[in-house]
A and B are shown apart, each in its own frame.
Chain A
């Protein structure tokens, strides 16, 4: 039985909706709130509501920052929204913050003429096929973000907002990141979780 560990980073992470989506697709899950919990899971989800510096600070407070860097080397991992962003090397939300640095990427404010945050359902344009999005490449996903991951090497898909293309999904060594919220993207989002637990 595969168990997905969902990182609990304090008051900001909305883990409830992710746990509910995992339950809906029949996955067993566990909330990870300390280092020892990692032993009980073989997959990891980093959820995403909050700000980059707060998320990193919370991980450090809970002594999860370094263990998480180690864990994602060997376990399939999915970062969602801010959870994707903190997988990058550096974040520039409010202040410069060092991230988990799995991806050689920076996180910057979206530059476009439309209102920011970018909110609503949007398409993805696949750059490189991935098991994560198999069968749902043409679906819409829900976005809710003011920052984007700037990366050039590990892109699964781009999305477009206000005439500007940004990275909407990334992958490197079984570590995945999605800028959208699969737990808020209807059936397509649930299918993404199914894909992830079957990787």
Chain B
């Protein structure tokens, strides 16, 4: 199972949002990426969490600083609106692009186009789900803006469009360090045939166990737990393999 370090970036810093809000500075993304690379992470997800929200251009140079220090896969997300954006990102060291806001709010077709040109393996769709009654609704712009999509309808749509991977985040659990939204992750894993990376809320071994005793995603992403050193990569890995 892949262990992924997720960097929520509000340039020039990695920050830790709580419920995607209330940012706290951690360190610069290039330093943290190198640190988690050295500690043995399988991949790094670099998510500019304000690019879409502020409707700002993608900061390629800043991203390239991070990509130049590591030799493991690096995914970029935040503010992607075109094939040209993606092409520039791949030429700045990205191995995968992570799409949410533009696809879910305006143009799901972008996933299809990206998949055709770059291959499905390079196209990750980030889902920011929030509970509403007993279902989930998909949000964008770091959990701020609701979309018209109900979770499973969106999972079906992106899969039809050739998404190669899903990053599932929970607006309710993100940054709260109280465990994953197990039902949410289970629901996504059971309704797709592409790899799913589970994120949001994983803080301790107990949380990992809670998740893995119910569902087996293809990867686990951690942010706060790593930044605040409650867990480290090798601890997570030995816990998973011993389970």
Contacts and interface: CB of A to CB of B under 8 A. Distances in A.
Interface stretch (A33-41, A60-68, A114-122, A168-176): A114-122
Contacts of B94: 14
A82 B119 CA distance: 9
Contacts of A181: 73, 95
A146 B42 CA distance: 19
B218 A119 contact: yes
A120 B122 CA distance: 13
Given A11-B87, A115-B195, A49 B122 contact: yes
Nearest to B71: A186
A101 to B, nearest CB: 21
Contact of A120 (B2, B95, B119, B120): B2
Contacts, number: 101
Given A50-B119, A117-B120, A17 B194 contact: no
Interface string A152-187: 000000000000000000000000000001011111
Interface residues of B, number: 35
A13 B87 CA distance: 9
Contact of B194 (A21, A50, A115, A184): A115
A14 B95 CA distance: 7
Interface in B64-101: 67-68, 71-73, 83-84, 87, 90-96
Interface string A54-83: 100000000000000000000000000010
What is the size category of the interface that chain A forms with chain B?
20 to 34
A194 interface: no
A11 B117 contact: yes
Contacts of B116: 51, 54, 94
A50 B73 CA distance: 16
Contacts of A186: 71-72
Nearest to B217: A115
B118 interface: yes
Interface string A11-51: 11111110011001000000000000000000000000111
A185 B73 CA distance: 8
A141 B88 CA distance: 26
Given A14-B95, A115-B194, A120-B218, A49 B118 contact: yes
B193 A115 contact: yes
Interface string B32-54: 00000000001000000000000
15 contacts: A11-B83, A11-B90, A12-B118, A12-B119, A15-B91, A49-B95, A49-B119, A50-B117, A51-B117, A115-B194, A116-B193, A142-B42, A186-B71, A187-B71, A190-B71
Given A11-B84, A51-B117, A119-B121, 10 more contacts: A13-B90, A16-B91, A17-B93, A17-B95, A24-B71, A51-B115, A54-B116, A145-B121, A184-B95, A185-B72
Interface of B: 1-2, 42, 67-68, 71-73, 83-84, 87, 90-96, 115-122, 164-165, 192-196, 218-219
Interface of A: 11-17, 20-21, 24, 49-51, 54, 82, 94, 115-117, 119-121, 142, 144-146, 181, 183-187, 189-190
